[in-house]
């Protein structure tokens, strides 16, 4: 998905843990908020990839974090959805369905690229 605040930045669904949430709950909520997909109601399976990344926060986004927070922690999840799944964007300008290699070339962050490489089957995205 293409970020509203940076048209060169394409990424997966992302979000912040809210008070009392576990990472799986956050992933379901963020997918719903950003795409309108209700994972459980649609019969999809959210897969916890058991991968946690830590990366440096971009200077332009540090204002979103508590002062002196240099790094962010990212929990990696995946969910396969139907090709004809209706998407309603709320926080992004556009989305694309791409093959695996094209998606890896399109995303901005190394951690998104790695997640696609490791957890998306070669036959689809």
**114 among the known binding-site residues?**
no
Map the chain to HEC letters.
CEECCCCCCECCCCCCCCCCCCHHHHHHHHHHHHHCCCCCCCCCCCEEEEEEEEEECCHHHHHHCCCCCCEEEEEEEECCCCCCCCCCCCCEEECCCCCHHHHHHHCCCHHHHHHHHHHCCCCCC
Q: Locate 85 and state its tokens.
A: 């799944």
**64 among the known binding-site residues?**
no
**91 among the known binding-site residues?**
yes
User: What's the maximum distance between 2 C-alpha atoms anywhere in the chain?
Assistant: 43
**14 among the known binding-site residues?**
yes
Q: Which residues are annotated as a binding site for substrate?
A: 3, 14, 109
Residues placed in the known binding site for Mg(2+)? 30, 34, 91
List the binding residues: 3, 14, 30, 34, 91, 109
């Amino acid at each position: 998905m293409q970020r509203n605040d940076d048209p060169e930045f394409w990424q997966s669904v992302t979000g912040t843990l809210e008070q009392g949430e576990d990472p799986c709950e956050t992933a379901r909520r963020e997918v719903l908020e950003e795409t309108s997909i209700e994972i459980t109601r649609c019969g999809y399976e959210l897969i916890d990839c058991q991968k946690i990344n830590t990366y440096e926060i971009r200077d332009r986004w540090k204002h979103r974090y508590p002062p002196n927070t240099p790094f962010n922690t990212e929990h990696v999840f995946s969910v396969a959805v139907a090709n004809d799944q209706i998407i309603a964007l709320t926080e992004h300008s556009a989305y694309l369905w791409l093959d695996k290699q094209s998606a890896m070339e399109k995303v901005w962050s190394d951690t998104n690229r790695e997640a696609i490489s490791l957890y998306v089957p070669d036959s689809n995205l």
